[in-house]
Chain A
Amino acid sequence: MLANLKTPAQRHTAIFYGLIMVGFYFVPVFSDNFYLLSVFTTAYFYIIFATSWDVFAGYSHLMNFGHALFIGIAGYLTAFVDLHLGLPPLLVLPMCAVVCGLLGMFIGYLTLRMQGPYFAIITMAFAAVAYESAIMFSEYTGGEEGIPGIHPLTDSLIGDYYFVLVVMSLIFLFLLWFTRGRWGLVLKAISQNEDAVLASGINTAWVKIRAYSISGALCGIGGSVYAYSLTHVGPTSMEQVLSTTILIMAMVGGMGTITGPFLGALILVLFNELSRDMEEYRLLIYTVMVVVIIFFAPRGIVSWGQPIARAFKLGGKRGQAGS
């Protein structure tokens, strides 16, 4: 992947995200404050959800309004196999990836010919049906209460912190690799002109199904770790609010970039926590902030990267070159 960092801008970007990631690994060195670590852990979960959303929806511009479906399905699956079969997380995570990957493939296949709003509504409906089922079949799912008592990932807060962080790092790196290569290019091309991609001899249907499957599989891994981390799963893990939050984070950060949803999730989770003191104004400020960002940066926060970098670094260089 490093070989792909041809331009200075690409190198700056790699250094920027590399530093953030390294910083994450050092957080527990400076503080073992329970609250601080759990805020960061929450951010990592949302990063997994938003970046995995992005690899399909952000690149294809098919708005997935039901991404939390995968979080919930993986969560319940994790609860079942953990409590009934006692399988270890390292087996359960791949299992959730496979199940959610197949589910993504299935939904991708069903929705193949759907455009814009129809696609959005179907994805919403799938999550809603799963949500209602979780409440209805309460003898298996614990109804509204959900299923408590999932075994924790590790026996310490710091252990959990690193577990989630490592999973997030691997998913983030995988997605960067996946989207910076030919798949990202083909997906972007499909969103801009599917006919021309077909005319290039590429089976666009299969590309989209595969991307949706990867999106589901990675979110499923996140959903499983999420359930372990909370030691609980309930219908709220599939709520519409959660799906919408994920979508907003990706939009705010910048769809179809992976790094955008990474930043969007991080910033919005941190803001949400930092603004706890503002009590009842919090939701208002949060909403206004989201609207303002989307208004001034329709391509997301990442689109500010180039101008900011130029203002700081390249401005100086230009001066030197001129002297």
Chain B
Amino acid sequence: MTQARDYLVVDELTKHFGGLAAVEKLSFSLDRGQILGLIGPNGAGKTTVFNLITGFLPATSGRVTFRGESLMGKKPHQIVNQGLARTFQLVKPFPELSLSDNIRVACYGPRFMSQGLDEEAARHRILEVAEQVGLPDDLDQPASSLGHGDLRLLDIARALMVQPELLLLDEPLSGLSSIETQAIVGLIQALNQEGITLLIIEHKLKELMKVADRIVAIDFGQKLAAGTPQEVVNHPAVVEAYLGTKDSYASA
């Protein structure tokens, strides 16, 4: 097996959009089996970090390594096939496809196909994943008929279909009711128990602090603090960046 430490390493990662430094010499690392939270105010560069790690954007400079292997210059689909899946901040369903077809698309990547699984096995796995994330029973309905909370579940289901080792979730709780939030928090814990390592961007700090082993806080693309949830949340730079008292964001 691969080493547990430094499972994912982000090293001096930098992304400039013209004159804007969206991510600036950002370094952090993640151990296998951990849940790492990534926080920061709006526009801090969190989603950009995800896009850099997953190959959706080329980095200006710096490195990302996963299991000791560099991800730089790799295409998004190649990175997924190394076992690193993601969801999107704005849910990205295929609105006109049925729920099961939405998930089925992920069966047709090499990671799934190389296992020599047939349609029957795919169907089985689709039902399994749909049930695990808690999608509605009727998988024949089009994705366009789902509400926001279920679309988040669908996005996660699609990501799980590639059987990731490392899962990146971009604000999985945003726009959800408290019941839906609890369900996804439970799901995150269950996935982690199964051995999936997670990197989670989340504004709802209270929930994030429940699940995260460590948290990295960034602003203006730079690291403000890193450590245990308590350490980070009480860090003066973090408090200042959120322009409030500890109470106001811890209850956000």
Contacts and interface: CB of A to CB of B under 8 A. Distances in A.
Interface of A: 182, 185-186, 188-189, 192-193, 195-204
Contact of A188 (B56, B85, B94, B107): B94
Among B75, B80, B109, B161: residue with most chain A CB under 10 A: B109
B88 interface: yes
A192 B155 CA distance: 14
B80 A201 contact: yes
Among B56, B77, B107: residue with most chain A CB under 10 A: B77
29 contacts: A182-B107, A182-B108, A185-B97, A185-B108, A188-B96, A188-B97, A189-B94, A193-B94, A195-B88, A196-B88, A196-B92, A196-B94, A196-B155, A197-B105, A198-B75, A198-B76, A199-B54, A199-B76, A199-B80, A199-B158, A199-B159, A200-B80, A200-B105, A200-B109, A201-B85, A201-B162, A202-B108, A203-B75, A203-B77
A182 B77 CA distance: 17
Contact of A198 (B77, B87, B97): B77
B104 interface: yes
Contacts of B110: 201
A186 B77 contact: no
B217 interface: no
Nearest to A200: B106
A186 B94 CA distance: 10
Contacts of B159: 199
Contacts of A204: 77
Contacts of B87: 199
A193 B109 CA distance: 16
A192 B97 contact: yes
Nearest to B51: A195
B142 to A, nearest CB: 11
Interface string B94-133: 1111000110111111111000000000000000000000
A81 B111 CA distance: 44
Given A195-B88, A196-B88, A201 B106 contact: yes
Among A192, A193, A200, A203: residue with most chain B CB under 10 A: A200
Nearest to A188: B97
Given A192-B97, A196-B155, 9 more contacts: A182-B107, A182-B108, A189-B102, A193-B92, A195-B88, A198-B75, A198-B80, A202-B109, A203-B77
A293 B88 CA distance: 38
B50 to A, nearest CB: 11
Nearest to A194: B92
B111 A192 contact: no
A186 B81 CA distance: 17
B221 interface: no
Interface residues of B, number: 34
B101 A185 contact: yes
A201 B109 contact: yes
Contacts of A192: 94-97
Contacts of B86: 199
B77 A185 contact: no
B37 interface: no
B93 interface: yes
Contact of A201 (B77, B94, B97, B104): B77
Contact of B105 (A195, A202, A203): A202
Interface in B52-66: 54, 56
A189 B100 CA distance: 12
B93 A193 contact: yes
Contacts of B161: 200
A202 B79 CA distance: 10
Among B95, B105, B155: residue with most chain A CB under 10 A: B105
A160 to B, nearest CB: 40
Among A195, A197, A198, A204: residue with most chain B CB under 10 A: A198
Contacts of A188: 94, 96-97
Contacts of B104: 185
A192 B143 CA distance: 11
Contacts of B56: 195, 198
